Structure 1
């Protein structure tokens, strides 16, 4: 298997609202595509939004998950000021700040927000770690 992730798909309760959060609120570039799915081009991968119940049905599992799912998404940036700026941008777009940015025990600076469907995003500056591959 090649070492890559091609698409990260998030199951969402309201596709239109989630699409607006990521496109209008966070400014992610949306790829035009017909159907009940939204695609956003990211550096090196795609982010997709799909109705939660339909995604669960596609995978053959129940849609009733709640609480922490054991997964977070991470967005690394070049400096601490950018961590604060991205968290503020997410909050203005409708995200909930779950953990305000602070010095981390691993030597960096990070905080977390939850998108409108509760998906957790870490925004971090990790000295010596490049934001992208």
Structure 2
């Protein structure tokens, strides 16, 4: 494969039971536009779906604002917003079942409150980080940061979302849920790929429409 090609992520699609309700939730909660889309599907799933989505923001007041509107729109708390050694953040579960983390590396506000999102990160919980890293490298994604078999950030220049790999157990612990789960991930990643791909953990990629 031509390794000079670099795969970009255009958007992700969440499979939900009620598309209209999910669209209304995401518009009210986070206002991410077309970065996160939904479609109705009834694929069976149970427990942890193996991924989380994170909103990385500049300061605690933005975390509070986004988590607040998510809860008002119907999300439930998995990890209450709090300070930690790495910063400030919390985790919620959307009504459709997707897990969202909202976090800032800052522990104090540096300016007026905003709702600006600096990065949207898709974190895949995988069984073998090294194997998944190699799979994505073989399909045009360069490695940005790598911590051996524990955690990898992939380089997706020009993407609407960043992509990271974590062990499934660590991803679940970070989200505050049990790592056990089965069935569909109920997630499709859309990007600059040829045809459709399925990674070693069953995460599906499809080419973005041109």
TM-score normalized with structure 1 length: 0.70
Answering whether residue 44 of structure 2 is matched by residue 22 of structure 1, we say no
Moved over 4 A (4+): none
Change (3 A) 1:125 1:27: closer
How many residues are paired up? 106
- Pick one of 57, 69, 88 that aligns with 1:89: 69
Contact 2:16 2:40 in 1 (8 A): yes
How far has the Cα of 1:3 moved from its partner? 4.2
* Higher-RCO chain (CA-CA 8 Å, sequence separation at least 6): 2
Structure 1 residue runs of 5 or longer lacking an equivalent are: 30-39, 54-62
RMSD: 2.1
Match of 1:115 in 2: 94
Segments of 5+ residues of structure 2 without an aligned counterpart are 107-116, 120-157, 159-210
- Inter-partner Cα distance in structure 2 for 1:71 and 1:27: 18
Distance 2:94 2:26 in 1: 9
In the alignment, the residues of structure 1 paired with residue 30 and residue 63 of structure 2 have an alpha-carbon distance, to the nearest angstrom, of 16
CA contact (8 A) 2:54 2:100 kept: yes
What's the secondary structure of 1:87's corresponding residue? helix
How many Å separate the matches in 2 of 1:17 and 1:117? 9
Q: State the match for 1:47 in structure 2.
A: 36
Higher CA-based Rg: 2
Deviation of 1:10 after TM superposition, in Å, equals 0.3
More strand by share: 2
**Residue by residue, what CA displacement relative to the aligned partner does 1:66-110 show, whole Å, maximum 9, x if unpaired?**
1111100000111112112211111011111211112234x1111
C-alpha distance in 2 between matches for 1:111 and 1:47: 20
